[in-house]
């Protein structure tokens, strides 16, 4: 089977979507299917709308049996604020009946992705298209159009960011009329959680086409971290609170620093480690911190996997109080080490963390509540161990990539079996 994955940010980018498609695509390739990934040249998300961010120079390569083709994006002239301003305008236009055609045109106005049509001509034909990240619709729309033109199955994993319950602040960027139209017409929509499934079903996406697939971990790959080495290398003495994710407001990184400042003012000697790609507004926030607070923070923006594993082994608490996570693979990685986790009551996280059983949940932006949750887990080591142990057991039982792939593969078989030819055509066996 000839499969196209459209993933805006892909290997070596350390994003949840990149990991998800790597795990599925590499397993499909190992079974004998031909898997091609169409990606942008962005190494940082902000590269999509902001010059000067990191990009990947290699246009074509094969990695772990999967062919990767990266097409550069092109932005309209103007300041970086142009893109978020356009997207905000689109959310307002989306309130109007019949706005979908205009929204589709605006989605392709900036950024532009020249070379897509030439890509389909050179690397196709394909038997199935699977695209992702519904908010980065400049890439989804041409992939959907290609599938429609060729009459082949189209699957979407939207990675909806639902935000806080009752608030449109985040979800409006993921549920515009043209985006929901694509999902309604997709052959299957693979979602992360039941929360996401129910949200889309309520907006007219046929429930019979929705499949909860989720994400996972491979515990053997996560294990092996050396906590003592991390503490020695980064001068950590005492409790360690760890954050792994994009260093951004919506991920809760700023709130976490503010919560730690409260603990430091109260005399707690905990250290905060931050691992992830910083966005520009985070850099500005961090630069304004008092020097004494920065001394208590270990900022490791682009740490390699080995350092992440060491940090997980060293951590006493893992905190990601985000409102823009569909699932949160990093919670599972922390659980593999028996580390208790703190998340926000936002997005799909309440379907991942069971409050009080395998982690703690706080309201997004509630700095006082976040500080109290950290204080509780640092002070009550029996509770911390109980939560971490329960999370580890759940991960090993239900949340491995092998289980996720089995669910994803079943979805491919539902829509792709009748449209394939050749020795590796069907999903009954490569």
Write out the DSSP string of 209-260.
Answer: GEEE----B-HHHH----HHHHHHHTT--S-EEEEES-BSTTTTHHHHHHHH
User: Using 50, 70 and 90 to split pLDDT, how confident is the model at 283?
Assistant: very high
Q: Which token pair is 76?
A: 């309209």
Strand partners, 374: none
Between the ranges 49-53, 224-228, 421-425, where is the mean pLDDT highest?
A: 224-228
112-150 in b/e form (b: 16+ CB < 10 A) is: ebebbeebbeebeebbbbbbbbbbbbbbbbbbbbbbeeb
Give tens-digit pLDDT for 391-406.
Answer: 999 999 999 999 999 9
Q: For 220-398, CATH number? A: 3.40.50.2000
Q: Which token pair is 299?
A: 């900022």
For the chain, give the percent of residues with pLDDT over 70: 97
CB 63 within 8 A of CB 7: no
**What mean pLDDT comes out for the span 126-145?**
98
Domain with CATH 3.40.50.2000 in the chain: 2-216+400-419, 220-398
State pTM to two decimals.
0.89
The least confident of 88-102, 187-201, 415-429 is 415-429
User: Using 50, 70 and 90 to split pLDDT, how confident is the model at 427?
Assistant: low
The pLDDT assigned to 420 comes to: 38
DSSP 421: -
Other beta carbons less than 10 A from residue 223's beta carbon: 12
Give tens-digit pLDDT for 233-280.
Answer: 999 999 999 999 999 999 999 999 999 999 999 999 999 999 999 999
Pairing of strands 60-63, 66-71: antiparallel
Give tens-digit pLDDT for 323-353.
Answer: 999 999 999 999 999 999 999 999 999 999 9
Residue 421 confidence (pLDDT) above 70: no
Contacts of residue 337, defined as CB under 8 A and 6 or more positions apart, other chains included, come to 222, 223, 225, 312, 313, 315, 388, 392
Q: Which token pair is 328?
A: 């949160």
CA 233 to chain centre: 29
CB 9 within 8 A of CB 42: yes
Give tens-digit pLDDT for 17-43.
Answer: 999 999 999 999 999 999 999 999 999
Residue 307 confidence (pLDDT) above 80: yes
Cα separations in angstroms, 179 against 159, 171, 253, 281, 295: 12, 12, 28, 28, 44
Give tens-digit pLDDT for 212-232.
Answer: 999 999 999 999 999 999 999
For the chain, give the percent of residues with pLDDT over 90: 93
Give the integer Cα–Cα distance in Å for 198 and 204: 10
The pLDDT assigned to 422 comes to: 38
Give the integer Cα–Cα distance in Å for 110 and 149: 24
- Tell me the angle at which helices 367-379 and 253-265 cross, rounded to the nearest 10 degrees: 60
CA 123 to chain centre: 27
Give the integer Cα–Cα distance in Å for 196 and 198: 6
User: Using 50, 70 and 90 to split pLDDT, how confident is the model at 14?
Assistant: confident
User: Using 50, 70 and 90 to split pLDDT, how confident is the model at 416?
Assistant: confident
Pairing of strands 360-362, 240-244: unpaired
The least confident of 51-55, 330-334, 360-364 is 51-55
User: Using 50, 70 and 90 to split pLDDT, how confident is the model at 370?
Assistant: very high
User: Using 50, 70 and 90 to split pLDDT, how confident is the model at 315?
Assistant: very high
Give tens-digit pLDDT for 138-182.
Answer: 999 999 999 999 999 999 999 999 999 999 999 999 999 999 999
Report the top-level CATH class of 2-216+400-419. alpha beta
Q: Which token pair is 327?
A: 């699932």
Rounded to a whole number, what is the distance in angstroms from the first to the last CA of the chain?
9
Cα separations in angstroms, 253 against 234, 275, 353, 383, 399: 20, 10, 19, 24, 25
CB 241 within 8 A of CB 209: no
Secondary structure (H, E, C), 335-382: HHCCCCEEEECCCCHHHHCCECCCEEEECCCCHHHHHHHHHHHHHCHH
The pLDDT assigned to 430 comes to: 38
Q: Which token pair is 151?
A: 């009459």
Residue 147's SS3 state is helix
């Amino acid at each position: 089977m000839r499969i196209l994955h459209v993933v805006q940010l892909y290997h070596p980018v350390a994003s949840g979507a990149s990991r998800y498609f790597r795990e599925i695509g590499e397993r499909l390739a190992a079974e004998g299917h031909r898997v091609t990934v169409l990606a942008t040249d962005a190494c940082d998300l902000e590269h999509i709308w902001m010059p000067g961010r990191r990009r990947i120079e290699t246009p074509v390569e094969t990695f772990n049996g999967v062919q990767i083709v990266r097409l550069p994006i092109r932005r309209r002239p103007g300041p970086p604020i142009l893109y978020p301003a356009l997207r905000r305008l689109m959310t307002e236009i989306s309130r109007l009946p019949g706005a979908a055609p205009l929204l589709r045109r605006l989605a392709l106005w900036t950024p532009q992705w020249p070379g897509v049509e030439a890509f389909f001509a050179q690397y196709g034909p394909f038997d199935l298209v699977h695209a992702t990240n519904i908010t980065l619709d400049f890439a989804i729309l041409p992939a959907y159009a290609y599938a429609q033109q060729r009459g082949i199955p189209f699957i979407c994993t939207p990675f909806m960011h639902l935000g806080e319950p009752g608030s449109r602040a985040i979800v409006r960027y993921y549920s515009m009329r043209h985006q929901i139209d694509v999902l309604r017409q997709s052959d299957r929509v693979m979602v992360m959680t039941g929360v996401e499934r129910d949200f889309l079903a309520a907006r007219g996406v046929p429930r019979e086409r929705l499949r909860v697939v989720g994400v996972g971990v491979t515990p053997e790959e996560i294990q092996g971290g050396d906590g003592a080495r991390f503490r020695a290398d980064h001068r950590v003495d005492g409790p360690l609170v760890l954050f792994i994710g994009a260093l951004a407001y919506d991920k809760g990184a700023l709130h976490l620093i503010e919560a730690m400042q409260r603990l430091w003012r109260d005399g707690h000697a905990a250290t905060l480690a931050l691992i992830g790609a910083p966005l520009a507004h985070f850099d500005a926030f961090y630069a304004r911190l008092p020097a004494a607070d920065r001394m208590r923070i270990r900022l490791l923006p682009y740490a390699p996997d080995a350092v992440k594993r060491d940090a997980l082994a060293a951590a006493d608490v893992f905190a990601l109080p985000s409102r823009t996570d569909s699932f949160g693979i990093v919670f599972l990685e922390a659980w593999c080490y028996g580390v208790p986790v703190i998340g926000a009551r936002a997005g799909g996280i309440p379907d991942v963390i069971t409050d009080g059983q395998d982690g703690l949940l706080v309201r997004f932006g509630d700095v006082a509540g976040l500080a109290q949750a950290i204080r509780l887990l640092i002070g009550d080591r029996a509770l911390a161990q109980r939560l971490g142990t329960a999370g580890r057991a759940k991960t090993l039982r239900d949340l491995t990539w092998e289980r996720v792939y089995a669910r994803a593969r079943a979805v491919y078989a539902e829509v792709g079996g009748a449209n394939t030819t050749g020795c590796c055509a069907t999903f009954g066996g490569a």
